[in-house]
Every structure is written in structure tokens, then in C-alpha cells.
Amino acid sequence: MKQELYEMYAEAGISAKVAEFGEEICESLKDRFAKIDEIAEINQIKVIRAMQKNQVSEACLHGTTGYGYNDMGREKLEAVYADIFHTEDALVRPQITCGTHALALALMSNLRPGDELMSPVGKPYDTLEEVIGIRPSKGSLAEYGVTYKQVDLLPDDSIDFEGIKKAINPKTKLATIQRSKGYQTRHTLSVNEIGEIIKAIKEVKPDVICMVDNCYGEFVDTIEPSDVGADMVVGSLIKNPGGGLAPIGGYIAGKKDCVENAAYRLTSPGLGKEVGASLGILSSFYQGLFLAPTVTASALKSAIFGANVYEKLGFSVLPNGAEDRHDIIQAITFGNADAVCAFCRGIQAAAPVDSHVTPIPWDMPGYDAPVIMAAGAFVSGSSIELSADGPIKPPYSVYFQGGLTWPHGKFGILKSLQSLVDNGIKVW
């Protein structure tokens, strides 16, 4: 059987040396992968129980048009999300176009002129800089008179709890906590660390709304930030919770008043959650959520495999090959643009869609440097599917994530390594 696999790899352009190296890494990860499967099983039962509790039926899988009044499937899906995240309410809509939109919606609906937004974990993800107004942009929070304060992590990458407490003032209304690292080389926050940050904030000013950017973190652990005090958790359906089937959408789960505010901002005052047709895609939302725990497990295995492959070759990886995981993103620092581009070309070449396309850096909206993206996906931009991207600027790190199945994730990492070898980049 192993020989047959190597023959298939050879037909796909992967050398025997790369394939054998990959198999060595796989053998060393069997026990760790078994633990990931245990987490996936717990989360799978959690999702099933939430669907059963809310009596999801075949009728829920059909959509509405027009205003979308009395959309039973939409309403039950939001109840399912609220139960999974143990929150009072949830907003789950195809009208939320992406993760950045979901975050902007949560922020803009719960902040008012004169309020202050605080980030207690350093710089937020690049696309939020324009939402906040760190980089000037039309319609930013800054234009509406919302100020911003940032507390950086300490030099050892730990949380500056004293700095957070000092930064809180009478104007502090909302704290945005980014779970994942984004295009940074900091560690991803664990759910327990997020809980400690929330506790520190609430001790100083209990009415501060604590919002967690949960992108890439759902179902990685058996608990979510809402289980440790987050007032809102926010994410994208074309990442973990969509299971690779959701074609668009985002969610906000949390306190009822926070979610209601977001609904009124998404539609209009007076309408809120009552409108918003589901347009025939509820089946994909439900089935994607059902698959999400096992899909996330596959993406985790892919990330851990990639970390171990490149760490053993001497590259700087974050997280490292052995540490606990709190999201599905894996960062590798190559130190030069050519290696970043070669890596992304390898990921693209492993895709089921557009494998013949060559990714090149371009000036993407919302970023301050050219970005290269490899994403041959069934859903455009879906980063729960195997994908890789990175800004073309020092330290020249690439960030890869996803893999709807573990065999595809493994194949993609091997193709990325083969691409480096084929492009004359020293790896051995």
C-alpha cells in the first residue's frame, strides 16, 4: 500500500525523498492526531445535540426570498449557534459578507461617538486597521468619533495585565480581543488566556463589552471564548464553522443586547433580525456546521504536520511543532520573498480547483503591502480549505491554514516542499 502511495505521489510531481520525509513526520504524530480526533468527537456531539434540542427538520433546510419574514430555518440556525457557543443569542446571516464585515458590524453597532475601543493584545488584523481608523478610511470608527487605545504584548510575548488595567478609563466601552495571530509572529491566544484577559478588564470596569475575534479558532478546543466570559464571539462561515460548505456568511454570538444592536445595524432600526432572506443556502449552513468539528480536526492535523516538516528543516515556525494549538493557522518564516512565493505556488498546485494557476503578489484592498494568496478552493477565499498567504515584507513569513480532509492537507504541504526544492531554495 505504501508503495502505491509513493507511486501516486510521483505521478503528482513529488519526489521519493520528499514523500519519505513526510512519512517519517507522520509516524511521529500518530498519538497527537488521536487526541485531536477526541476533541473532534466531543465537538461533533455538541453540534448534534444543539441541532436536536432545537428540532432542526427538513423544512429548516429550505430558504426564503424577499423580506425573509418568518424564516424558520434561519431562526433555528441562530438558536443552534447560541446553544453551541452557550450564549443568549446569535446572528448568523449570508448578508454578512466576510469575517471583517462581521467584526466591523459588531464594533459599529455597539460603539457610539465618544466611546473608546481598546485592543489589549496589540495590533489587530490588517483589515481592521481601516475599520478602526488606524489607517484612515471612509466610514471608519474614527470618523464617527470613536477613539482607540492599544496595549501591546510584553517583549516575551506575554499579556501585559498591568498595562491593560491602566489603559481602561471612563470612556472605555469595548475591548476587541483577537484570538489568532493574523499577520504577526505572536502566539495565538488560548481560550483560558482570553478568559484571564476578560477577567482583568471586568475587574476594573465590569460594563466593558469584551468581543473576541474567533476566526480560525472554532472547534479547536472543547470550549469557546463565550464559555470564559466573552460578551460577543465573532467569526466567518467560510472558515471553521462553515465546514467548507457555507458559500458566504458570518456570525455574531453573545449577549442578547449586543446581538440585537448588530442586527439593527445589519438591516435597519425597527427591523433587526426579522428580515434577511436565506436565499436557499441554509442547507449548506446546516450541513457545513455539522461537518465543522471533523473538518477543523483535518485542518489542525495539516497545520501540525506542516509545522513539524518545516521545523525539522530548520525554519522558524509558529506555533512550533510540539506546542498546544489554539487555531488552525501555521506561520513559517523564510526570510525572503522568493521562498514565500514558491511555497504558495506549491499549495496552489495541490488544489482541486485552479491548480494550473500561478499565484503572484498583488495590492489587495485593506493591506499595507502586496500580498500573495494561494487558494484553489470550491468557495472563493475559503480559508478552511487548504490555502496560504502572506504579505511580501520582512520577515517574509507565510501563513497557511485549512484542509477539508487530512490527506489533502498532507498532500499540499508535500507539494509546497517540493516547490521549494524545484525552485532551488535550500531546504536540506
Task: Give yes or no for residue 251 having a pLDDT over 80.
Answer: yes
Within a domain: residue 48?
no
Dist. CA 166–CA 359, nearest whole Å? 45
Task: Give yes or no for residue 185 having a pLDDT over 80.
Answer: no
Same-domain status, 97 and 26: no
Same-domain status, 232 and 296: no
Within a domain: residue 55?
no
Give the residue with greater pLDDT, 183 vs 268.
Answer: 268
398-418 tens-digit pLDDT: 999 999 999 999 999 999 999
Same-domain status, 296 and 391: yes
Which residue, 237, 184, 232, is CA-closest to 215? 237
pLDDT recorded at residue 218: 98
Within a domain: residue 284?
no
> Could you tell me the residue range of the domain that residue 252 belongs to?
65-279
Same-domain status, 28 and 72: no
Same-domain status, 297 and 273: no
pLDDT recorded at residue 1: 67
pLDDT recorded at residue 81: 99
pLDDT recorded at residue 183: 75
Percent of the chain surpassing pLDDT 70: 100
28-44 mean pLDDT: 98
Assigned C-alpha cell, 235: 467569526
What does pLDDT average to over the chain? 96
148-166 mean pLDDT: 96
Task: Give yes or no for residue 367 having a pLDDT over 80.
Answer: no
Within a domain: residue 56?
no
pLDDT recorded at residue 324: 95
pLDDT recorded at residue 126: 86
Task: Give yes or no for residue 170 having a pLDDT over 90.
Answer: yes
Within a domain: residue 231?
yes
Same-domain status, 152 and 274: yes
Count of C-beta atoms within a 10 Å radius of residue 358: 11
Same-domain status, 269 and 295: no
Same-domain status, 33 and 71: no
Which residue, 246, 209, 255, is CA-closest to 86? 255
Same-domain status, 257 and 341: no
Within a domain: residue 354?
yes
Assigned C-alpha cell, 97: 459578507
Contacts of 342 (CB under 8 A, 6+ apart): 416, 419, 420, 422, 423, 425
273-295 mean pLDDT: 97
The half-sphere exposure of 377 on its side-chain side, counting CA atoms within 13 A, is 25
CA 58 to chain centre: 29
Q: Is 252 helix (H, G, I), strand (E, B) or coil?
A: strand
Same-domain status, 135 and 187: yes
Dist. CA 72–CA 81, nearest whole Å? 14
What band does 364 get if pLDDT is binned at 50, 70 and 90? confident
Domains: count for the chain: 2
Within a domain: residue 121?
yes
Q: Which of 245, 279, 313 is the last residue of a domain?
A: 279
Same-domain status, 312 and 365: yes
Within a domain: residue 57?
no
Assigned C-alpha cell, 39: 476533541
10-15 mean pLDDT: 97
Minimum mean pLDDT among 164-168, 202-206, 263-267, 364-368: which range?
A: 364-368
Task: Give yes or no for residue 327 having a pLDDT over 70.
Answer: yes
Task: Give yes or no for residue 69 having a pLDDT over 90.
Answer: yes
Which residue, 370, 417, 415, is CA-closest to 396? 370
Query: What are residue 209's DSSP bridge partners?
Result: 174
Task: Give yes or no for residue 384 having a pLDDT over 90.
Answer: yes
Same-domain status, 217 and 308: no
